[in-house]
Amino acid sequence: MVRYCVLSFCALGLLLMTGCMFDEGRSDVSGTVTLDGQPLTLGMIHFDPVDPPKEKSIVSGVTQIENGAYKITGPKLGLLPGKYKVWIQSELLKDKNGNLVNPDDVKDMKVNPAGLINENLIPPEYGPGGENFLEIKQKGKIEYNLDIKTNKE
């Protein structure tokens, strides 16, 4: 019985140490993205590091936006402290007549991809050339929301 307890205690210690090594102070980031006041149906949100320190490898974060919500979480996927440029990507696929095309139909070869057009839904100021930033100072749970206006109103 004592031997079992000692082995269990050692195993637990190893697990805790391993978990701490992978954590590196990463933050869970989540939030909402709206387009003209409505949840963005589908898209991607990107967090690209700005001037990452040379002694630490700060990687970009990217995740899917579904029904206006996104989250980047976990000890390996969360974002490290630093400054990030944030940009959004969301497109509609249309045929030459302007009709919406389901991307699954293209993937399943039900629709010929020749002549299809990607229509970007996101204004340039919220794309890769925009000026939206998030600064993470320390580990924690961070909520970052974006309300994108297309000026179509």
From CA 42, how far away is CA 104, in angstroms rounded?
14
pLDDT of residue 153: 52
pLDDT of residue 152: 62
pLDDT band at 113 (very low <50, low <70, confident <90, very high): confident
3-state class of 50 per DSSP?
strand
Q: Given a cut of 80, is residue 98 above it in pLDDT? A: yes
pLDDT of residue 112: 75
Burial (CB count within 10 angstroms: exposed 0-12, middle 13-18, buried 19+), residue 29: buried
Tell me if the pTM is above 0.85. Answer: no
* Encoded tokens for 38: 């409505």
Greater model confidence, 95 or 132: 132
**pLDDT (average), residues 88-116:** 81
> Measured between alpha carbons, how far is residue 96 from residues 3, 116, 126, 133 in Å?
73, 6, 27, 36
pLDDT of residue 73: 87
**pLDDT (average), residues 73-81:** 84
* Encoded tokens for 105: 């139909």
Average pLDDT value for the chain: 79
pLDDT of residue 133: 94
Among residues 23, 33, 47, 64, the alpha carbon closest in space to that of 136 is found at 47
The residue written with tokens 């229509």 in the block is 119
Greater model confidence, 58 or 121: 121
Determine the Cα angle at 114 with ends 152 and 128, to 5°: 45
